[in-house]
Structure 1
Amino acid sequence: MQYFEDILGQERACRLLMKTIENGNIHHAYLFTGPPGVGKFLTARAFARAILLQHDPATDIYLQQNMHPDLLVIEKREDKTKILIEQIIQELEPWLATRPYRADRRIVIIRDAHLLGLPAANALLKTLEEPPAYAIIILIADENTLTETILSRCQELRFSPLNEAAISNYLIKQGIDIETSRRHARLSQGSLQMAAALSQTEEEQDLWRLAGEIIRGLASGHEIEVFLAAEKMETNPAIISSMLEIILRDLLVYQASGNSELLLLPENLALIQDIPAVQTAAVQEALFTLHRLREWYKTSVNSRLININISYVVMDALK
């Protein structure tokens, strides 16, 4: 599909967006939801590019410099944990109040919209209720946690986890050997972002060893292990926390099925067999909470504090 040829594994979403462009039936607000690392932002950029190109043939020149006058990207500031109301009132609203400069539309992409603080979300709602005729607002969220009033004013488009073959083929094209590409595609749980991070981690085996030590320690139930785990996680918090998630997932699958062939990482078998039986509901809740806590690594919150919270969650699940 023209405009979306670089988007991996999201053919359905791209077809729907392409159809809206061809039909001239573009909505004023979209919500792209789905797991992190599956191409939501890339798709939003491609969609914006396709729209802008209709009336501005020089769009690509401006986009390459990240300075197209009719495209604005709003994201959480590095030193903050939320998208602030000032970003909506002082940046988005005045920008949208100005008519398009080169194209016939002005497009706003809000990254990590699930990090909108309540005041910012309420301010955004006013814009969504009465947008300028030329405005298009694209919200990107890893989780569908926005208020119902915002959801009702957006056309939602769900993005799926990528399949292993698509991720593996991508990694191979990047020069990663076939065996490693397949392994990282399997471990990525559908996230190209995670697969790429694993492939760029030279000390992967050392990190798996640390993750195993953390699980064994937390399974003991001794509270001191929470703080030891938090310290170990500082080596690479984002990767190790993802590894903990994979081990818990494998634990759940193996205790339910007894089939080691279903493990994402067969090397986890010995570790999993050493852990006493756990409650399925507790591990499922821990996986959900762990996923939510890992989002905080994107913010300015101290990583060790996040590690401690994750460690408590894992310990409680292994009781």
Structure 2
Amino acid sequence: MDSRQQAFQRREMLLHSMTSSHPNIVSLHEIIDEEDAAFIFIVMEYCPNGDLFSMITEKQRYAVTTEPPMPDTKYEDGRPLPDDAQLLQKHVAMDMVIKEIFNQILDAVEHCHSLGIYHRDLKPDNILCSHDGAKVFLGDFGLATGDRWSKDFGYGSTFYMGPECQGGLGGRVSHYNTAANDVWSLGVIFINLICGRNPWKQATIKDEIFREYIRDPDYLLRILPITPETNAVLKRIFTLRPELRCSIRDLRRWVNAIPRLRATPLDIWYRQHPSKELHISHRVARVQA
């Protein structure tokens, strides 16, 4: 290991050790750094149950499972039958689980920020889980920094970087706010938990989906199974001007106030057929009158 690599590793250990007392951050127990040794050894909390990425994608811990649709579960016009009470209960219960997990992540990142430490590589792969996915632990401080402003562009994982971290949209920016970039990453993780996918591959004009989002900030509402209330919070996270991006405190408050995170099949059908919703609502009004 050369001197530059050693410096990076020592910085990682220092920043991690400053935060590791938090219950949602992987504990760092001991650092073995002997003068003539070829390696530095780190003793950390044992987390054998995998990361949040596998919990979302492979185990599908936060997905709402439903029975295969029966032939008679739609009206003649293709409209789904009214949402089943059991399905709605599943949505509400899973929303509570997702909010709890996301609040733990917010707590961990807010703790880091309160100490002047900015992670810069927030993603499900760097969040470890308990066996049932009910508790999470932030780890991997390899790209963390104590600088609120950075000129180190491209640090992190492309899926989770804000546009300013990739050089900006309207011309090259000279530096970016690392705290605001962490908030952007949190927004992508929030979508991962709700939808099991990413909103785009990278937040640059080269990405077709992100270009559509720039053109229409409600675009995610049309392509993701989310509610309008969830979409409203995402727009406050994914604002293109970092100085207007929401704080973690506000983000926590807004997320916890969302009545339902995910749209049901009936919600999505009406969204895709707005004229049908208007026609049906008028017909119901006439019957009630």
Which TM bucket (shorter chain)?
under 0.3
TM-score, normalised by the number of residues in structure 1: 0.25
